[in-house]
Structure 1
Amino acid sequence: MSATYLQSVEDLVLNIHVNQSSGINCSNLQLTFCSSNDCDVTVFGINVNMNMSNGIMKILGVKNLMNKLRNSFEYTEATSHLVSATLQDNKDSSLRIRMDFPKEKLNYTIPRCVFWDHTMMDWSDAGCIVTTSDNYSSMCECNHLTSFSVLMAKGDQSLNMFEPILEKITSVGLGVSICSLLIFLTIEYIVWSAVIKSNLAHFRHTAMVNIAVFRLLADCSFLASSSPNILTDSWCLTLTICKHLFYLAMFCWMLCLSVMLVHQLIFVFSPLRKRVFMFFSSIVGYVCPILIVGSSYVYYKYTYNLYYDMKTCWLIYVRLLEGSIHAFLLPVGTIILTNLFSMAVVIVTLVKTSVPDSSKADDKETAKSILKVVVFLTPVFGVTWVIGFFQLMMQKDNPMYAFVVFSFTILNSFQVI
């Protein structure tokens, strides 16, 4: 609705034909005209300058609309004003406009000059640069005319210098993970008939193979989308859906494995029947991810909201409980909490079995068993992904942010199952 309003106001201003300098001044809109060769006008404290040979420049200032327009630039805060510039009776294709935006938030130090792209329904910085910036204002220069504003990033952006390193770590880690998963699946195929001696073994290996297969497919999709700038929109959408589906399916099979393990520990004398396990695990591992991904895509398509970001080929995070990323975060968060509970049950069961024997040797063996459980179950149950939730909750200027980002990248890209 806000984007439609902005488009309507721009069209209205474009169709206003004036012959002399005049203007409109109200609480949320300021409109001014300039017909001199060197135009220098001000709207809502924003100085606008442009050199032109002929024609009439129309400058419109809009207040209290910025926070209602979509902003996909991460870790940025919108200012309260935007400026729309149009020309009447001028066909010059090489125009440059300069705007001096007063800095509203002193603790936000990194400015970004942007314009509203009505096709993308989002802000874009194409053709706009920041020429100067200090504690009081930010000077923007653009080579086209439309609606402009400034997005401010908070704090130090030094983590951006580590992005190439993070990309290399991710690529290497995913390469190692893919090779390891292929080796694991090959071994499982060779020894399958030999290791499946009981229902419990069949349950465990079925879950592990499904986790490995979906992890492999998700990693391949992630690598294929690592350069979104060379992908078409359709390919970007396809890879986003694939990553969403495959990672969700991986976590759902992790849930099946953890629930099966806890059931076997608690109900020792009531083992799961093979048909029952395969039925319910198929529903959870195959049907549920398809329903979640399909319903979220349909919802965002028919509510005219963006399902994916073409800059990253991944789901969109706007703010808490807003954005398509929550169709991934909410089910994954629920699964991780369930798996943490399952891990706690396993550890408590190990401790209880060692209570009657109080010797130091038994205590050491129990500690070793608990350590083995934690080391083995942490990646298998997806517990390392908890770091990603901390990353989302932390501010980018937090001193621990870089450590959390590197930890998440290393632990999850090199994960082999």
Structure 2
Amino acid sequence: MENLTLWGKKVDFMNPKCNFLQLRDDLRIPKLEELTVCLDLWKQIQVQNWCVFMYKKQGREDPQLGLFGEGGNLRVWLSESSWLSSVDLSLQTWHSVCLTWSGPRQRLHLYVNGSVVKLEEEISVPNVPLAPNGTLTLGVSHGFTNGELVPESGHKLPGYMSLFRMWDQEYSHRQLLDLRCAKGDLIRWVVSDWHMHGCKAIPDTGLKCETFPTTPSTPSTYTNASTGPITSYGPLPTFKDSFFRVRLNVNVNNPYQDSEEVIRIWLQETLGKDQMSVLNLEILTEPGACLEESQQMREGFYIWPQTEAQQTATVPCEGDPRQKATRLCCLDGVTEKATWTAPDLLLCPLIVATILDLDNVVVLPSNSMDVVEIIENLTSCHTKLSFTELVIVLGKLAEVVNMSQMTPPLGTAIINVIANIIATDSDLSLVTNEILSITDSIGNKMTFGGDQYNVAAPSLAISLFNVDPGHFQGLSFGVSSVSQDSSPEIFINQDPFDDTVAFISLPHVVGNYLPQQNGTSSRVQFHFYGTMDLFKDSEPKMKLNTYVVSASVTNATIVDLEQPIVVTLHHLEANMLNDEVQCVYWDVNKNDKLGGWESSGCTVNHTIATRTTCFCNHLTHFGVLLDVSRTMVSDVNEEILTIISYLGCGISSIFLGISLLTYVAFEKLRRDYPSKILLNLSLALLGLNLVFLVNSWLSSFNSYGLCIVVAVVQHYTLLASFTWMGLEALHMYFALVKVFNIYVPFYMLKFCVLGWGIPLIIVSLVLIVKMDAYGSILYDNSTQKQNTLDQFCWLKSDVVFYVSVVAYILFILLCNVSVFVVVLVQIRNMREGKAARKRSGLLHDLRGVASLTFLLGLTWMLAFFTWGPAKVALLYLFAILNSLQGFFVFLFHCLMKESVRKQWRIHLCCGRFRLTEHSDLSHTATVGMKFRQYQLTHAPSMKSAKSDHSNSTSSTSCSSHSDRGPGSVSG
């Protein structure tokens, strides 16, 4: 396969016929958590923007991996983030470039000509795997059109490239020296790995690895043996360099170090002085013995003696010395070392059977991890812990933190235990400060390599930074994707985005407060708590409406900052009416050292329905409280009220539809003005109910334009409904108070213009003046998907809402109440001088009052009294009466109306229930509407020529007579 190798050859991307190199389709880059890429690069000319290589996943905007040029500098891309290097590549010379990355260690390094190059941007290295099955191109960047790869013009490499290789692991600086002329294990510099796309490989003797991996042919050689005939050994390779075989015997005293790496570094440093390199390093280890080890288990405390490989140690059980505990010292097949297996304690009774038994466990530095594992095992099966159990568990965790060296595995284990405790239904209000103290101590004592370390568990995350006080330029911490089943995602030094639930940014002036420790780093830590149960205050008027985020500096108290700390928190419940919010911090000394919320030093900078940004002048645990003193309605009551509203509106819609069909189908029922007004009112109410029923569903599409349309229609039908209620009252006033028998031209047309025109004018003015007043209050800048029933397209502006809705409805209701009172007084005056009413007459009048109450919408007045202790009860009454308003309109003005029932029996019934068109029914008045029997001549302001007797015998139901003026009233 000699003719397929590209070693010793370069690709000239400045050749017009050379487009780019592309990794073959049958070679796929797998999902990687670490990698190394090396190549040789030659810049012929200076251009502003150019591409070395690019690995991209189809459907993503930015590269998953790449190396780009910006002038003389290099920009590294990884997982759609980029870092700019400060290196200036000189022209017309070869440069060796290597890129290494480890996700778990969050390390990213760029090497140019054997030296580490600093990456300028302070962006956190992502701890997410490299996306698999992407496309890799050399010499040019690319995109996709209709699923096809398309090279991007204007970013071509202005020079040559050679020796592009890729490995599936991160190599250290010294290991890269050995890779100088080594093949890649994922991608090789051979023709069979690439689509050339017009490019040709050109030999270049200036390449340092031009003869690797070929083996030149040499003449045959012969060896003379004194005791036998001449034997041919065939052709042997000839080497220019000398090779030495070195054997070392090394005793390793620290089992936690990487022995191979230590030996490799020592050999490189020792032999490198004589310009020698180490190749084919192989370490063979003797198994040795399993060293003595103490172990704390739920079955007791055990000390396992030193045991040879493949031997079993036996000790008596602590709870029953007659039984034996065993543990095998096995030979590890990979490391070839003696290693302890898990102990066999099946015959040993439990010593720590419950959480209360933890009191008998002694915490030592040597058994700290064992104790934490026991606690995790005990708490994982509990859904609720008592106060005593919480005190014991947190006390043992505090002992572990205080007595032990806080390694990353130990700290992570403790954080997992605390996350398990937070996830239970336990009352944590009495132990909040203890939990905060433990997590703070973990952050202060944690020892780790590098400048940053993250620990995340469900609903809990900690980020630790070792910073240089003299070069502190600010720091930010953000969290997204919070759920009970997965750990939060942490983002460092990134601006908050849509899914960010908590964000905190420290200004650069914090560096002035960092403790100076003789050139050593200072520790800054961020905490995130994705729960509200941990922070409960006795303040009844305020409720925590966000998760909690904190920042602190080890051995420093930071207060009264000149520049504020910026905290942005996402609301757990959308602030639908922009209720008052308050930025607060957790004061551990409040409420007799139990802790509570305090607001001093924190102010609200900006708030919208879904998030609040706070400015604070000190470091601690931050949250946002919602003023619920005006909205003391529990979640259960809110859900019940929602169900009542939807059921009531659904029922009303059905019966309003029946009412409309009845009046439209039977022409005799709509001959008078009251029936026509009732028809328009029913139509407006039906529209209001139907839009309300589909509002949440339509708003769930998150379409801004659709939501505005729905909100406008909802607003219009509400105003139209109240306008027709007001016109109903106005007509009643004309009929029973200002009684006249004159003809009013276009009377009903004028009412229709007012009833449908006034709401149209109001809605049009809102659209013209402030169209963005409409919309979904959860759609605007929403950072989290809400429950479908929580979304509603309506008015977002308080000013527009109170002017165009509250004020208008209040005006209509006040007018209707006035007419209602005047009508009742008028009826009372009509009753004077008559004989005492019978009981049935009183019931009729009560029905009439109820009928007018729903017809004029007086039940909506309850909305102005839903405050104080009776708020919840009034809300239930409001929801029931007003959602069923359409049903009551049908009941009193359709079902209980004799003229309507007559038409039903004539046209819809059969058999003995069917009536003929000329059936002689009683002339009694409509049930419950007896007070409306009086004709216009009975108003006190008019002199009547008819007697009371003639009136009482000749008047009919107001729906059955055929008055053509305004002086008739109907339900």
One of 400, 406, 413 as aligned partner of 2:870: 400
- 1:276-318 C-alpha deviation (Å, 9 max, x unpaired): x2243123211110111121233234xx766662443222474
In the alignment, which residue of structure 2 is the partner of 1:63?
A: none
Instruction: Name the CA distance, whole Å, in 1 between partners of 2:569 and 2:808.
Output: 30
SS of aligned partner of 1:226: helix
Choose the corresponding residue for 2:709, options 232, 238, 252.
Answer: 238
Answering whether residue 822 of structure 2 is matched by residue 345 of structure 1, we say yes
**Structure whose residues are more often helix by fraction:** 1
Aligned-partner residue type, residue 110 of structure 1: K
**In structure 2, do the counterparts of structure 1 residues 158 and 170 end up closer, same or farther at CA, with 3 Å as the change threshold?**
closer
Quick one: which amino acid aligns to residue 571 of structure 2? D
Q: Is the 8 A contact 2:716 2:760 kept in 1?
A: yes
Deviations 1:352-375 (A, max 9, x none): 011122x3236x566445323311
* 1:249 counterpart (710, 720, 725): 720
Q: Distance in 1 between matches of 2:876 and 2:633?
A: 14
1:327 is matched with which residue: 804, 810, 818? 804
Deviations 1:166-222 (A, max 9, x none): 222122111111110111111101212x1345xxx2x11111111111111111110
Deviations 1:233-256 (A, max 9, x none): 222221111111011111111111
Amino acid at match of 2:794: W
Asked whether the 8 Å contact 2:860–2:878 carries over to 1, the reply is: yes
Find the counterpart in structure 1 of residue 689 from structure 2: 219
Question: What CA distance in whole angstroms lies between the structure 1 residues aligned with 2:626 and 2:702?
Answer: 29
Partner of 2:777: 309
Q: What is the one-letter code of the residue matched to 2:854?
A: P
| Deviation of 1:97 (Å) | 4.8
Q: Distance in 1 between matches of 2:735 and 2:743?
A: 8
Native 8 Å contact 1:350 1:370 kept in 2: no
Q: Which residue of 1 aligns with 2:649?
A: 174
Unaligned runs of 5+ in 1: 1-16, 20-35, 40-48, 60-81, 89-94, 116-121, 140-144
Q: 1:337 to 1:216 in 2, by over 3 A?
A: same
Please state if 1:184 is matched with 2:184: no
Bigger Cα displacement from structure 2, 223-232 vs 208-217: 223-232
From 545, 556, 559, give the equivalent of 1:112: 545
Q: 1:169 to 1:232 in 2, by over 3 A?
A: same
The answer on 1:259 being equivalent to 2:730 is: yes
Cross-structure match for 2:505: 85
Q: Does the Cα contact within 8 Å between 2:685 and 2:717 map onto a contact in 1?
A: yes
Check 1:295–1:308 CA distance in 2 against 1; reply closer, same or farther (3 A cut): farther
State the secondary structure of the residue aligned to 2:474.
strand
Indicate yes or no: 2:621 matched with 1:150. no
Q: Distance in 2 between matches of 1:312 and 1:280?
A: 34
Change (3 A) 1:340 1:191: same
User: Residue 45 of structure 1 aligns with which residue?
Assistant: none
Q: What's the CA shift for 1:232?
A: 2.3
The corresponding residue for 1:376 is: 851
Q: 1:113 touches 1:125 (CA, 8 Å); kept in 2?
A: yes
Aligned partner (choices 462, 467, 474) of residue 57 of structure 1: 474
Q: Retained in 1: the 8 A contact 2:633–2:872?
A: no
| Deviation, structure 1 residue 124 | 3.9
Contact 2:774 2:793 in 1 (8 A): no
In structure 2, the residue corresponding to 1:263 is in which secondary structure? helix
Task: Please list every run of 5 or more consecutive structure 2 residues that lacks an aligned counterpart in the other structure.
Answer: 1-119, 123-450, 455-461, 477-501, 509-524, 549-567, 575-583, 599-610, 615-622, 779-790, 890-971
Percent identity between matched residues is 19
Letter of the structure 1 residue corresponding to residue 753 of structure 2: I
From 759, 774, 777, the equivalent of 1:289 is 759
1:119-175 per-position Cα deviation (integer Å, ceiling 9, x unaligned):
xxx9842699x9989854359xxxxx9944513333595522222222221221111
Question: Which position in structure 2 is the counterpart of 1:91?
Answer: none
Which residue pairs with 1:270 in the alignment? 741
Provide the C-alpha distance between the structure 2 equivalents of 1:146 and 1:278, rounded to a whole number of angstroms: 52
Structure 1 stretch displaced more, 287-296 or 156-165? 156-165
Among 579, 596, 599, the residue aligned to 1:137: 596
Alpha-carbon distance in structure 2 between the residues aligned to 1:232 and 1:98: 33
Q: Look up the equivalent residue of 2:850 and give its one-letter code.
A: V
The CA RMSD measured in Å over matched residues stands at 4.3
**Aligned pair 1:360/2:773, yes or no?**
no
- Residues 1:195 and 2:669 aligned together: yes
Deviations 1:32-77 (A, max 9, x none): xxxx7589xxxxxxxxx85347785347xxxxxxxxxxxxxxxxxx
8 Å contact kept, 2:545–2:573: no
Does the CA-based 8 Å contact 1:264-1:271 persist in structure 2?
no
Residues in 1 aligned to 2:803 and 2:713: alpha-carbon distance in whole angstroms: 16
Contact 1:84-1:146 at 8 Å conserved across structures: no
Q: Considering Cα pairs closer than 8 Å and 6+ residues apart, tell me whether 1 or 2 has the greater RCO.
A: 1
In structure 2, distance between residues paired with 1:220 and 1:123: 36
Matched, 1:205 2:675: yes
**1:239/1:86 Cα in 2 relative to 1: closer, same or farther (>3 Å)?**
farther
Q: Which amino acid aligns with 2:767?
A: Y
Give the aligned residue type for 2:669.
Answer: V
Q: Which amino acid aligns with 2:795?
A: L
2-structure distance, mates of 1:255, 1:125: 40
Amino acid at match of 2:474: M
Contact kept? 1:255, 1:339, Cα under 8 Å: yes
Q: Highest Rg: 1 or 2? A: 2
CA distance in 1, matches of 2:506, 2:465: 12
More deviation, 238-247/219-228: 219-228
Cα 1:127–1:221 shift into 2, 3 Å: closer
Q: Residue 626 of structure 2 aligns to which amino acid in structure 1? A: M
Which residue identity is paired with 1:246? T
Q: What is the identity, as a one-letter code, of the residue corresponding to 1:309? A: I
Q: Tell me: CA distance 1:306–1:245, structure 2 relative to 1, closer, same or farther (3 Å).
A: closer
